[in-house]
Chain A
Amino acid sequence: SQQGEEDPQALSIQEGENATMNCSYKTSINNLQWYRQNSGRGLVHLILIRSNEREKHSGRLRVTLDTSKKSSSLLITASRAADTASYFCATDATVPIEDSGAGSYQLTFGKGTKLSVIP
């Protein structure tokens, strides 16, 4: 399965601390994306990192990608209570469509890390 797996499943930290979440996957990718989901809401895209990139920053977010280890990490610095949410990694893959000969490009999501930031 191409599915990414996040680690840990749940993380609880104090406001102001850094939060690190990891994602491991199994096969080659073109890119890896991180999404956030607040309770009862849809997923929101945070950042995309391509397979030829090793690190990317966006505000308080830092994403790293190690294709040799097939893993990625998401670091949230100086966490805030509003960062409380579930965080998902998504890996891309092209899978064959049965009986058509064509390929289906898909994102496969992990089950997420539930982050709680305590004020």
Chain B
Amino acid sequence: DAGVIQSPRHEVTEMGQEVTLRCKPISGHDYLFWYRQTMMRGLELLIYFNNNVPIDDSGMPEDRFSAKMPNASFSTLKIQPSEPRDSAVYFCASSLRQKDYEQYFGPGTRLTVT
């Protein structure tokens, strides 16, 4: 398997623009996670899905953020409108099960909002 795939790897956009980040989890994994990493706050869980259903979105910072998982092989994280404080590295991870299982991380999308 190719591992977790994320696109784009880098995104530079202007404040106010819509940004869409994409993720393809490892085939057969039931759980998908979206994280955000910054120097100040470290790695934060934004939302996770189980079998394509959002389970906990309490980490999503505000209504400007939304995530979908239309099928088992694809998920998106959308920011609309984007703001400079959204600049961070966004990771997608997947896991075969939830408890007591390792998570497999994608390479991340480095987002810069100017």
Contact = CB atoms under 8 A, between A and B. Distances in A.
Interface size range of chain B in the complex: 20 to 34
B105 A43 contact: yes
A50 B100 CA distance: 8
A45 B95 CA distance: 11
Given A98-B58, A105-B98, A107-B103, A42 B42 contact: no
Given A41-B108, A104-B56, A33 B42 contact: no
Contacts of A92: 99-100
A98 B58 CA distance: 8
Given A30-B100, A97-B58, A42 B4 contact: yes
Contact of A41 (B98, B104, B107): B107
Given A42-B107, A92-B99, A97-B56, A106 B45 contact: yes
Contacts of A111: 42
Nearest to B44: A109
A5 to B, nearest CB: 10
Interface of A is mostly: strand
Interface in B72-114: 91, 93, 98-100, 102-108
A48 B56 contact: no
Contacts of A105: 98-99
Nearest to A100: B56
Nearest to B104: A45
Interface of A: 30-31, 33, 35, 40-45, 48, 50, 88, 92, 97-98, 102, 104-112
